[in-house]
Amino acid sequence: MRILLLGDIVGSPGRRAVARFLRDGGWDLVVANGENASGGIGITPGVADDLFSSGVRILTSGNHIWAHREILEYIGGPACRLLRPANMPPGNPGRGFAVLEVCGLSVMVLNLQGRVFIGDSDCPFRTADRILDSNPADVVLVDFHAEATSEKEALGRYLDGRVALFAGTHTHVQTADMRVLPKGTVYVTDLGMCGSTLGVIGVRYEEVRERFLTGRPSRLTVAEGLEAVCGIEVELDGAGKPVSQRMVNERV
């Protein structure tokens, strides 16, 4: 089984890059974080559907999932393949994990969100325990949308041996620490982003520069040009155990 996990898709440049990259195919499952896919913040139903049409099977998200009101009804659909963090407070629409069959194995995609420097949510450690204990699957993939590297590493180690792949998202900067943890989980602190490499984490450099120089809030728009795709590719054996992995960071 070949699995591709992609980092935060930022605006139309990120969507174009992903669509071009996926044309070659060859993956049995593609999961991508879509929480910045619409104009750099949030995601709309139309954009989600376009990404599914391009070859993404499951979309994860994070703290910007509710940026567009129309997503509230869309994500509440019983067959929706767009996830929101599972540890959001009760009462939110949608679901935080999905279980699907891939190559004859049951595969869970679990979306969680951090609590350090990012906003209020329930405990991701206890939420993961609850979901994993009550929903057995052959293979578990985790997208942990979090700011603090320490929180990502801590949860990754906490779930080591219980999940096949643990990948962080949110910072838009790919980390160089992909490794196999002691009990067999493939871990990376952040997948990076899919979008323009000419900006600052996907938005126009000039606008970010102005914010830093003046301290004034200003509108940020998505950067254009030199588009790249970032993520991780993992191959699993017939029992669902990782046998190889590589980082993806390619201009497309």
Mean pLDDT confidence for 28-39:
97
Catalytic residue among 64, 145, 170, 172, which?
64
Residue 36: its H or E element: none
Quote the CA–CA distance of 239 and 224 in Å, as a whole number. 42
**What pLDDT does 193 receive?**
98
- Return the number of other C-beta atoms located less than 10 Å from residue 42's C-beta: 21
Report the percent of the chain where pLDDT is more than 90. 96
pLDDT digits (tens, 9 = 90+) for 112-151: 999 999 988 999 999 999 999 999 999 999 999 999 999 9
Q: The CATH number of the domain where 139 resides is what?
A: 3.60.21.10
Cβ distance 166 to 154 under 8 Å? no
Local confidence band at 1 (pLDDT 50, 70, 90 cut-offs):
very high
Helix H segments across 87-218?
A: 124-134, 149-158, 205-214
Is 145 among the residues known to form the active site? Answer: no
Q: What pLDDT does 21 receive?
A: 97
CB atoms within 10 A of CB 134: 7
- CA-CA-CA-CA torsion for 149, 229, 121, 127, nearest 10 degrees? -90
pLDDT digits (tens, 9 = 90+) for 47-68: 999 999 999 999 999 999 999 9
Question: What pLDDT does 126 receive?
Answer: 98
Q: Which residues contact 154 (CB under 8 A, 6 or more apart)?
A: none
The pLDDT tens digits for 18-31 are 999 999 889 999 99
CA distances from 122 to 112, 116, 126, 162 (A): 10, 12, 8, 20
- Domain, as residue range, for 102: 2-251
DSSP 51: H
pLDDT in tens, 145-176: 999 999 999 999 999 999 999 999 999 999 99
Cα 84 to Cα 39, 92, 95, distances in angstroms = 18, 9, 6
pLDDT at 120: 87
pLDDT at 15: 98
In the chain the beta strands, taken as DSSP E runs, fall at 2-6, 8-9, 29-33, 58-60, 97-102, 105-113, 139-145, 165-169, 179-180, 186-188, 193-196, 227-236, 242-251
Tell me the C-alpha distance between 93 and 109, whole Å.
17
Question: At 217, is the pLDDT very low, low, confident or very high (cuts 50, 70, 90)?
Answer: confident
More confident of the two residues 92 and 217:
92
- Residues contacting residue 145 through CB under 8 Å, at least 6 positions apart: 33, 35, 60, 61, 62, 63, 85, 111, 112, 113, 114, 118, 168, 169, 170
Nearest to 195 by CA among 172, 227, 171, 222: 227
Residue 78, pLDDT > 90, answer no
- Reported as a single tens digit per residue, the pLDDT across 80-94 is 999 999 999 999 999
Residue 218 scores a pLDDT above 90: no
Percent of the chain with pLDDT over 70: 100
Q: What's the total number of domains in the chain?
A: 1
The answer to whether 211 and 217 have CB atoms below 8 angstroms apart is yes
Helix (H) or strand (E) holding 93: none
User: Do residues 62 and 33 make contact, with C-beta atoms less than 8 angstroms apart?
Assistant: yes
